[in-house]
């Protein structure tokens, strides 16, 4: 067995949104098994409680706490951050994984309320969160923020145009956070998944074109799985990525290496 402190998160506190299942839950478990105390959040408390129990069982310690909050509501996010301080202490790691896609179709047909909800949850909520936790990080002179964007940010879509627009805006936000908070030792990066087998994207990977897409567009010849993101979360949270900030990392089986 190789002993290394490169990915050691002992004593760190991580706050994750969109973490009751799928990618968020996998990332939370990976951070916890590497020593971090994690506060996981989503809208439904019962799902969060089940996820926290699974994480604690996996790491053999009580490192996961569950706090329900709606990522699109500023007052609930502030309550989430306050509760995180009470349960675990100052935040060292922020994972903004919550997101919505409320419009499937042409961008020219988006109702105003759908546009506003998407941009608020996918972009503005992450700015709110960053501003809420960054004092914890700047006080220590270090911290890592990561936000889930999408490969949809890199190309137009006739059906997911609004979602892609919001995720491109999120990358812009990440770059500005990296620029503004870098001098205080705080890093910010974006994670850009391809087609991942989660409940959130089920309509995409269960349709008749999915198998053809896997065999013709994805060099690794498989869809992504939530488990593909645990290691990346640990890497971005740890000293292993200490000189990386402002980046958009694609995790897509090679489908977007040409864009």
Res 191: pLDDT: 98
Res 233: pLDDT: 98
Res 114: pLDDT: 94
The yes-or-no answer on residue 163 being catalytic is yes
Residues 94 and 162: their CA atoms lie apart, in Å, by 25
Res 204: pLDDT: 57
- Burial (CB count within 10 angstroms: exposed 0-12, middle 13-18, buried 19+), residue 200: middle
Res 211: pLDDT: 64
pLDDT per residue of the chain (259 residues) written in tens, 0 to 9: 667 789 999 999 999 999 999 999 999 999 999 999 999 999 999 999 999 999 999 999 999 999 999 999 999 999 999 999 999 999 999 999 999 988 888 989 999 999 999 999 999 999 999 999 999 999 999 999 999 999 999 999 888 899 999 999 999 999 999 999 999 999 999 999 988 876 655 555 566 776 677 667 888 888 889 999 999 999 999 999 999 999 999 999 998 887 5
Residues 188 and 181: their CA atoms lie apart, in Å, by 8
Res 190: pLDDT: 98
Domain ranges of the chain: 13-251
Coil vs helix vs strand at 147: strand
Res 199: pLDDT: 65
Res 9: pLDDT: 97
Res 206: pLDDT: 62
Res 103: pLDDT: 84
Check if the beta carbon of residue 188 is closer than 8 Å to that of residue 141. Answer: no
**Annotated catalytic residue: which of 104, 115, 163, 181?**
163
Res 1: pLDDT: 60
Q: How many residues does the chain have?
A: 259
Superfamily of domain 13-251: NAD(P)-binding Rossmann-like Domain (3.40.50.720)
Instruction: Please give the distance of CA 6 from its chain centroid, rounded to a whole number.
Output: 22
pTM of the predicted model as reported, rounded to 2 decimal places: 0.93
Check if the beta carbon of residue 88 is closer than 8 Å to that of residue 142. Answer: no
């Amino acid at each position: 067995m190789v002993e290394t402190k490169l990915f050691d998160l002992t004593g760190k506190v991580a706050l994750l949104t969109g973490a009751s299942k799928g990618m968020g839950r996998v990332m939370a478990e990976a951070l916890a098994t590497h020593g971090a105390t994690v506060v996981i959040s989503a809208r439904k408390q019962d799902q969060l409680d089940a996820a926290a129990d699974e994480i604690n069982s996996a790491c053999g310690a009580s490192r996961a706490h569950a706090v329900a909050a709606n990522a699109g509501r500023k007052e609930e996010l502030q309550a989430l951050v306050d509760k995180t301080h009470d349960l675990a202490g100052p935040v060292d790691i922020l994972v903004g994984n919550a997101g919505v896609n409320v419009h499937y179709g042409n961008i020219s047909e988006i109702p105003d309320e759908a546009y506003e909800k998407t941009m608020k949850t996918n972009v503005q909520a992450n700015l709110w969160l960053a501003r809420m936790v960054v004092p914890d990080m700047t006080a220590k002179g270090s911290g890592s923020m990561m936000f889930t964007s999408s490969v949809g940010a890199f190309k137009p879509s006739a059906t997911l145009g609004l979602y892609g627009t919001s995720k491109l805006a999120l990358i812009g936000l990440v770059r500005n956070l990296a620029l503004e908070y870098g001098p205080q030792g705080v890093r910010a990066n974006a994670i850009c998944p391809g087609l991942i087998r989660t409940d959130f994207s089920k309509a995409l990977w269960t349709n008749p074109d999915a198998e053809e897409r896997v065999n013709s567009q994805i060099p690794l010849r498989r869809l992504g799985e939530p488990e593909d993101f645990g290691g990346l979360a640990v890497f971005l949270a740890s000293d292993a990525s200490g000189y990386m900030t402002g980046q958009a990392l694609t995790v897509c089986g090679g489908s977007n290496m040409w864009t």
